Amino acid sequence: MRRILLVALSALALTITAKNVNEKKLNAQALKEYLQPIRPGYSGQNPFWNEFARKFTYAPAFDFQERSFARAYIFVITDNDGHRWEMRSQSPKAALSPVWEQIPGGTQVTLDVFPIVGKAADTSDTLGHRTFLRDFPFRLPCNAPTRPYREAALKAMLCLHRLPMVQQWADHAEPDWSYRFSTYACKIIGATLRNECMVAHYFPSEREQALQIARNVAAYLHGISQPVGAPLAYFPPTYTRGVLVNSSITKQEGEDATMCMEPLNVGQALLDLYRETNERQYYDWAIGIATTYKRLQRPDGSMPIKLVYSTGEPVNDRCAMLHPLLNYLQRLKDEFGVSDFEGVREAGELWMHDVAIRSFDMTGQFEDVSVLNLKPYQNLTNCTAAPYADYLWRKKSPSAADLEDARDLMRLSEDQFVFWDMRPEPDGIRKHIVPCVFEQYKYQESVDASACNVAGGFLSCYLCTGNQLALAKALALTNAITVAQDARSGFIPTIWRRSKKTANISDMWINCAVHSICHLLRTADAVGEP
């Protein structure tokens, strides 16, 4: 039945890509949905989460405190050009839904809330003050793809394969250290391994060299991984040559620590290599990685975000978002028939629902951004919210709670990080390729992998539910990847800022490009490309 549904939905996707869709109806649906606040604190599901938010696409509600003597409250919204919008409510925590559609997209506004005492507002008593961007809503039509999704993926795959820092692996046992991101063992070297497995799979003429590169990469990663019997057995380190990007990271947080979820990047690549070669040592290593996670899991299902690499002890009391592990264990079960880790997956999923989703603090999990001294919600990111929504929608039988959580996580990701459009700069040019997705509060840049996170979540929503608006949003972001891609070389820039730097190979993160490739291939399959 599920297979029949997927075939039917793929046929429907083709109608959307062919523009045979009621754009007016989908645009109206989007505008209606934007009037509904995202898990506001007054709902009782979670605290107010938007204290540090800079923009909103969905009508927000804020944690402004009541006055015992107030009859009601007046909300006054103004922009820099003197326009003014007002609404009244019995609560200062009310959502801005009644006036939200009246405020033009892309408008920077200021909100002030005052109590109404007697018949008038007491403007000397400001209960709440916020400045934020009322962002552009999604609107069809959007950019069409510049080339078929599968072609874009294959071009990008070959582009990475032919890079000097990748070709070096054909006859070298160590990375090309002139590529500054080579210090990221799990993230960059692991992604290189994944790409070479894909090249070997899709390009028979390149297969022999690609597998040689892949085996050399795997041998290097094995040599720097923790040995059998160590607290973090089978785990490669996060860094091999020290902290690179952010000097504020302490030695304990960086050089002497490993991100708990990052070895899974290597684990996924090892499963790819085993699939291509049928060489048992890669499969055994991948199982060893899963076994270490089983040992690390706490009784409540959680895991630490960072560990001291030599001892396996947590660096701090912060917990990891578990979607990389849950996806990994699900793949072991679905593709390789391994059910030994189902208890780990189920406990992790329960913790995500009961703790992470209940608090709605989908905080960043970045090795170069400190989690110490962060207030709740201070560094939200799409990179935890959208991938977990994607995981929930991909379940074979998601529950009603799963679907609700996935929907709200995607709304959060869109609200806080997706830019469907931007106002041009004074020179008439938009600063970023749009639509685009910013990575996190602490790094306000449009990143290709973030676009894939959100597009992938929307695509899974469509495949699970048949929601055409979700598909339209997924394709709009996926089409933007093809727009950002260099037509000649296949190069996909990591940062979508319109500057010369975006086309610089030395500034490209290979792991992000591999994420784009995988997403493009999945989208090609979903829409029925040959």
Q: How far is CA 113 from the centre of its chain?
A: 34
Residues listed for the chain? 530
User: Which residue, 269, 259, 126, is CA-closest to 192?
Assistant: 269
3-state SS, 58-91, equals: CCCCCCCCCCCCCCEEEEEEEECCCCEEEEEECC
| pLDDT above 50 (res 8) | no
CATH number at residue 214: 1.50.10.20
Q: How confident is the model at residue 2 (pLDDT cuts 50, 70, 90)?
A: very low
Indicate the number of domains in the chain: 1
Can you give the pLDDT at residue 252?
Answer: 55
Domain of residue 228, residue span? 177-376
Q: Mean per-residue pLDDT for 482-490?
A: 95
User: Of 1-5, 36-40, 399-403, which range is least confident?
Assistant: 1-5
Angle in degrees, CA 128, 133, 136, rounded to 5: 135
Q: How confident is the model at residue 30 (pLDDT cuts 50, 70, 90)?
A: very high
| pLDDT above 60 (res 154) | yes
Q: 3-class SS at 58?
A: coil
Q: Is 455 inside any structural domain?
A: no
Q: How confident is the model at residue 21 (pLDDT cuts 50, 70, 90)?
A: confident
Q: 3-class SS at 122?
A: coil
Can you give the pLDDT at residue 218?
Answer: 98
Q: Mean per-residue pLDDT for 296-324?
A: 95
Number of helices (H) and strands (E) in the chain: give both, helices first: 17, 11
Q: List the beta bridge partners of residue 419.
A: 436
The whole-chain average pLDDT of the chain stands at: 92
Rounded distance, CA 377 to CA 396, Å?
31
Q: Mean per-residue pLDDT for 81-87?
A: 97
Q: Is 481 inside any structural domain?
A: no
Can you give the pLDDT at residue 358?
Answer: 96
**Integer angstrom CA distances of residue 518 from 6, 230, 390:** 19, 33, 14
Can you give the pLDDT at residue 242?
Answer: 61
Can you give the pLDDT at residue 372?
Answer: 77
Task: Provide the token pair at 525.
Answer: 């399959």
Q: Is 248 inside any structural domain?
A: yes
Q: List the beta bridge partners of residue 453.
A: none
Task: Provide the token pair at 407.
Answer: 């929907």
Better pLDDT: 15 or 65: 65
Q: Is 103 inside any structural domain?
A: no
Q: Is 436 inside any structural domain?
A: no
**Integer angstrom CA distances of residue 225 from 185, 217, 258, 300, 489:** 10, 12, 11, 28, 34
User: Of 9-18, 118-127, 312-321, which range is least confident?
Assistant: 9-18
User: Of 44-48, 246-250, 329-333, 526-530, which range is least confident?
Assistant: 246-250
As to burial, measured by CB atoms within 10 angstroms (0-12 exposed, 13-18 middle, 19+ buried), residue 434 is buried
Q: Does the predicted TM-score (pTM) go above 0.75?
A: yes
Q: Is 192 inside any structural domain?
A: yes
Can you give the pLDDT at residue 10?
Answer: 43
| pLDDT above 70 (res 250) | no
Q: Mean per-residue pLDDT for 89-97?
A: 97
Rounded distance, CA 308 to CA 296, Å?
13
User: Which residue, 356, 330, 205, 350, is CA-closest to 271?
Assistant: 330
Rounded distance, CA 95 to CA 62, Å?
7
Can you give the pLDDT at residue 240?
Answer: 87
Q: Is 26 inside any structural domain?
A: no
Q: H or E element: which one contains 296?
A: helix 280-296
Q: How confident is the model at residue 20 (pLDDT cuts 50, 70, 90)?
A: low
Q: Is 506 inside any structural domain?
A: no
